[in-house]
Amino acid sequence: MLIWRRVDFLRIEYRSRFLSKERLILKPFLLSSPPMNIPHQNHSIAIIGAGLSGISCAVALGKTIGNVTVFEAEAQPGGRMISRQQDGMQFDSGAQYFTVRSDAFRQQVKEWLDQWLIDEWPAWLVDLENGEALSHEDGAKRYIGRPMMHSFIQDMAELCDVRYETKIKKIGFHKKESRWELIDTHRKTQGSFDTVIVAVPAPQAVPLLSVTPALTNIAETIVMTATWTLMVAFDEPLQFGFDGAYVLSEELAWIVRDSGKIERDGSHGKEVWVIHASPEWSEKNKKLSTKKVNKILLDALGRVTGRAIPKPHLIVTELWPHAKPVNPLTEGCLYDRELRIGACGDWCCAARVEGAYLSGLTLAARVLHDA
Ligand SMILES: Cc1cc2nc3c(=O)[nH]c(=O)nc-3n(C[C@H](O)[C@H](O)[C@H](O)COP(=O)(O)OP(=O)(O)OC[C@H]3O[C@@H](n4cnc5c(N)ncnc54)[C@H](O)[C@@H]3O)c2cc1C
């Protein structure tokens, strides 16, 4: 059970009618409905988070509204889709690939394919248990970013005004002017805006949304599980005979020969593998030292593949504390039209890349519709 301390820094009295549930429940995917009252060009919007949901929301809003600013804590966009660089090598640390189920995402994927920002990943995947590998055939087409997993987000972010390395700590509402003010972690104001959108994982959204208890209460119901990730370079090929494996074991969930993906050629002759621990094991062992995590997961790799694992040339270890939502909402996004504050992200839609994209688009349509 996640327990979060509220940051109720505003002294604002809300009338309960402002927080009625009906206003928060959205018709899923208003993508085709025409905007009713398009806000004028001077309407300003702040988006917190430059992951796929935040950036797709920013691009969709930016087509109509001139004044959209994105705030991102890290030095680059991508969030949980980031490809990490270390010692001249590249690792897909978070999302490994994505699939397509909806027409809206299919159309976007086609554009990214035409722009050479993504490619199909014709991987040989297996289900792996106790040293036994069975071919994993589900007929799904899998896509990856090129040359990095987040390349297409970076491309979209170039169309937006993004303030990097700016972590937002508080959102305040000035009732008199009816405007939102964003305060960063250095207690510096980042300006005031007509509308604010929170595009970060649910547990990180909770303190930011605390000015709107109705949205906070919904975000608090979302459970997101952790994932320990090992990014490992070996001097010689491991010769497992597959590109990636869904692993059935207590410790591991997924392993992939990352250097085998298209354009991951900066590995200097090393073979690069990415290992994801299972959500259950990661949750239980969030506080373990990286040294212990490395040993346990590499031992588990040896057990599930039935091979002796050579000493790695390099290991980079990362904990994703909020990797995936277990119980995402079905509404697509959250939006309070009176206060003009909303939230999007995979946790509002579906626990995958496509869910993040659609959630950003749904909130943009909602903001345009209700403004
Ligand atoms: C280990 C792992 C494996 C995965 N594998 C897959 C997969 O194979 N296929 C798939 O479809 N999906 C996968 N996913 C899920 C997928 O990555 C996510 O669904 C998607 O990237 C979520 O995008 P988002 O925009 O909702 O959130 P995020 O990508 O988390 O973006 C949120 C952004 O907000 C920023 N931020 C947070 N707080 C603040 C703040 N206070 N101020 C400013 N900025 C802030 C963060 O730095 C981040 O850039 C995986 C995720 C993980 C972690």
| Together in a domain, 264 and 321 | yes
Tokens of 321: 């504390």
| Together in a domain, 66 and 186 | yes
In Å, how far are 111, 232, 283, 303, 323 from 296, measured between CA atoms?
42, 14, 15, 11, 20
| Together in a domain, 361 and 231 | no
Residue 87's Cβ-side half-sphere holds a number of Cα atoms within 13 Å equal to: 12
Q: Which of 267, 236, 223 is nearest to 83 (CA)?
A: 267
Centre of ligand 1 from the C-alpha of residue 42, in Å:
30
Domain CATH code at residue 35: 3.50.50.60
| Rg (alpha carbons) of the chain, rounded to whole number | 21
Q: Which of 59, 83, 200 to mutate to test the pocket of ligand 1 (most atoms within 8 A of CB)?
A: 200
Give SS3 for 283: helix
Q: What is the distance between the alpha carbons of residues 354 and 53, in angstroms, rounded to a whole number?
A: 9
Query: Of all protein residues, whose CA lies closest to atom 14 belonging to ligand 1?
Result: 95
Does residue 102 lie within any of the structural domains?
no
| Together in a domain, 217 and 229 | no
In Å, how far are 14, 253, 261, 361 from 53, measured between CA atoms?
28, 25, 24, 8
Over residues 219-238, the mean pLDDT reads: 97
Residue % of the chain over a pLDDT of 70: 88
Under the banding of pLDDT at 50, 70 and 90, the label for residue 40 is low
Under the banding of pLDDT at 50, 70 and 90, the label for residue 42 is confident
Centre of ligand 1 from the C-alpha of residue 79, in Å:
4
| Together in a domain, 143 and 261 | yes
| Together in a domain, 366 and 286 | no
Backbone dihedral region of 40: left (phi > 0), alpha (psi from -120 to 50 degrees) or beta?
beta
What pLDDT score was predicted for residue 39?
Answer: 55
Query: Of all protein residues, whose CA lies closest to atom 48 belonging to ligand 1?
Result: 79
| Together in a domain, 170 and 67 | yes
Over residues 272-284, the mean pLDDT reads: 98
Give how many domains the chain has, as a whole number.
2
What pLDDT score was predicted for residue 269?
Answer: 83
- Residues 111-147 have pLDDT tens digits of 999 999 999 999 999 999 988 999 999 999 999 999 9
Q: Provide CB contacts within 8 A for 313, sequence distance 6+.
A: 233, 234, 235, 270
**Please, where are the H alpha helices in the chain?**
52-62, 103-114, 151-157, 202-208, 213-219, 279-284, 290-305, 353-370
DSSP letters, 31-94, are TTSPPSSPPPTT-EEEEE--SHHHHHHHHHHHTT-SEEEEE-SSSSS-GGGPEEEETTEEEE-S
Centre of ligand 1 from the C-alpha of residue 155, in Å:
17
Over residues 73-95, the mean pLDDT reads: 95
- Residues 25-39 have pLDDT tens digits of 333 333 333 344 555
| Together in a domain, 127 and 209 | no
Centre of ligand 1 from the C-alpha of residue 80, in Å:
3
Query: Of all protein residues, whose CA lies closest to atom 37 belonging to ligand 1?
Result: 200
What pLDDT score was predicted for residue 266?
Answer: 67
| Together in a domain, 130 and 233 | yes
| Together in a domain, 48 and 184 | yes
Domain CATH code at residue 289: 3.90.660.10
| Together in a domain, 120 and 204 | no
CA 142 remoteness from chain centre: 18
Q: What is the distance between the alpha carbons of residues 274 and 71, in angstroms, rounded to a whole number?
A: 29
Under the banding of pLDDT at 50, 70 and 90, the label for residue 19 is very low
| Together in a domain, 305 and 354 | no
Which residues surround ligand 1 with Cβ inside 6 Å?
48-54, 71-74, 79-81, 94-98, 167-168, 199-201, 204, 227, 229, 276, 320, 323-324, 345-346, 352-353, 355-356
Q: Write out the residue range of the structural domain in which residue 252 sits.
A: 83-97+111-147+224-325
